[in-house]
Amino acid sequence: MIKNFVLDTNVLLYDPQAIFKFEENNIIIPITVIEEIDRFKKDMNETGRNARQLSRYLDEMRATGSLANGIALETGGTLRVEMYEEKFMKVLPPELREERGDNRILAVALRVKEQDEATPVIFVTKDTNLRIKSDALGLKAEDYESDKVDIEELYPGFTELEVSAEMVDRFHGQGWVDLTGYDLHPNQFVTLRDAANPSHTALGKYRADQKRITPIAKNGKDGVWSIHPRNREQAFAFDALLDDSIKLVTLVGKAGTGKTLLAIAAGLHKTAEENVYNRLLVSRPVFPMGRDLGFLPGDIEEKLTPWMQPIFDNVELLLSGHEAEKRHSKGYKELMAMGIMDIEPLTYIRGRSIPLQFMIVDEAQNLTPHEIKTIITRAGEGTKIVLTGDPYQIDNPYVDASSNGLTYVVERFKGVPIAGHVTMTKGERSELAELAANLL
């Protein structure tokens, strides 16, 4: 059945292409939404760019017909802008008759329902409270589900298989085993567990091109910059980070699981010791992405220091434990002066090409799917990108645990041979940090 979808402002600021994603249904945009979009068009961040893009889309459509009467879309549906009148407020209860943008949008949605009772009306908004109000008024409301991932069903990156004792022994003996009858993704990590003796195990990685399980990387007695994996998940993460054939690595996990520390250790190892990459490039979203850095004194490096201090803390920890560096190193500033490591804001990444670099984007859960796409498409020849973050610690009001760019990439790239992923759950920062992450 054809439906009428009334779109809220936050849906279009999150994804300006939303107007093309409702198939053969009708899209109604209240004029109040257009007014609110106009307030964002001068912002020099992703929200501002989305506002300008939507305005361009609507202006192009305007040339083909009347936005007031409805314009036919290639998907088979129509799009129209619905005007607001003060008399519409009468359909709202007294508590919601205050002249506010949300109330006007609700009034228009209820007016559309009143005018066309035969066609189901659905109000689409990412505002939780507005969905509650809509439901209380008898108006069906939904979240914008495009690019949404069920966080509880997020691809973990590894699995456990019960096999025979003979297979585990053969894996340890010859260094690989053929695997058939299992549905595994490329670079998915596997724990082979003896069905008769659960303590008899082997850790490996599925090579899709060979259709076999191969051992994960050994880090040697010195580890990676003196960092040794403390659990199975960290061992899997190190393997993905140190495998040059894997160009995109995503590490998802709660605070204290070692995501950032492992990524930086692997980056320094590959850049300073193996010389596989020309430079270690580290960045975090200066939230929100694109915020004007002029409010802080100094040059770009000085402006970024408050935002990048967690990165510097990890680098200092690695340098203090690395035998070759701790005798003479002056810290992260020396690495930056030598050109081994660089810190850059994501603000100015659009339009760049970044070749032969080990690039880490920390706190990637605060980015939208479009922002993540912008970052990954900057990768030049020979570049490896590592995305780390915790989907349950999000500061961006336009994304949540299911709609952020990090989880979106995990699901989209899980079947790609040059991508690897590990979901990390065991905290290793300290006993206190682990208890806080679980209890608070």
Report the 3 state secondary structure along 60-112.
HHHCCCCCCCCEECCCCCEEEEECCCHHHHHHCCHHHCCCCHHHHHHHHHHHH
Give yes or no for residue 361 having a pLDDT over 80.
yes
In sequence order, what DSSP letters do the residues of 132-166 get, joined into one string?
HHHHHTT-EEE---TT---GGG---SEEEEEE-HH
CA distances from 362 to 244, 248, 251, 252, 438 (A): 20, 14, 10, 10, 22
| Position 238, amino acid | F
How far apart are the C-alpha atoms of 364 and 388, rounded to whole Å?
6
How far apart are the C-alpha atoms of 173 and 44, rounded to whole Å?
58
Give yes or no for residue 328 having a pLDDT over 50.
no
Cβ atoms 267, 332 nearer than 8 A: no
pLDDT at 34: 96
**CA-based nearest residue to 81, from 99, 97, 65:** 65
Parts of the chain belonging to CATH 3.40.50.300: 228-439
How far apart are the C-alpha atoms of 54 and 67, rounded to whole Å?
14
H/E segment holding residue 239: helix 232-242
Summarised one tens digit per residue, pLDDT across range 59-84 is: 999 989 999 999 999 989 999 999 99
Burial class (CB in 10 A: 0-12, 13-18, 19+), 49: buried
Summarised one tens digit per residue, pLDDT across range 243-257 is: 999 999 999 998 889
Parts of the chain belonging to CATH 3.40.50.1010: 4-142
Summarised one tens digit per residue, pLDDT across range 170-181 is: 999 999 999 878
CA distances from 398 to 14, 148, 370, 409 (A): 6, 13, 12, 17
Look at the pTM and tell me if it is higher than 0.75.
Answer: yes
Which band of pLDDT confidence, cut at 50, 70 and 90, is reported for residue 47? Answer: confident
The third-level CATH classification (topology) of the domain covering 4-142 is: Rossmann fold (3.40.50)
How far apart are the C-alpha atoms of 18 and 11, rounded to whole Å?
7
How far apart are the C-alpha atoms of 202 and 171, rounded to whole Å?
8
| Position 325, amino acid | E
As a whole number, mean pLDDT of residues 357-373 equals: 91
* Residues in the chain, total: 440
Residue 361 bridge partners (DSSP)? 283, 387
- Class of 228-439 per CATH? alpha beta
How far apart are the C-alpha atoms of 194 and 261, rounded to whole Å?
32
Give yes or no for residue 440 having a pLDDT over 80.
no
pLDDT at 327: 45
Cβ atoms 325, 269 nearer than 8 A: no
Return the number of other C-beta atoms located less than 10 Å from residue 336's C-beta: 17
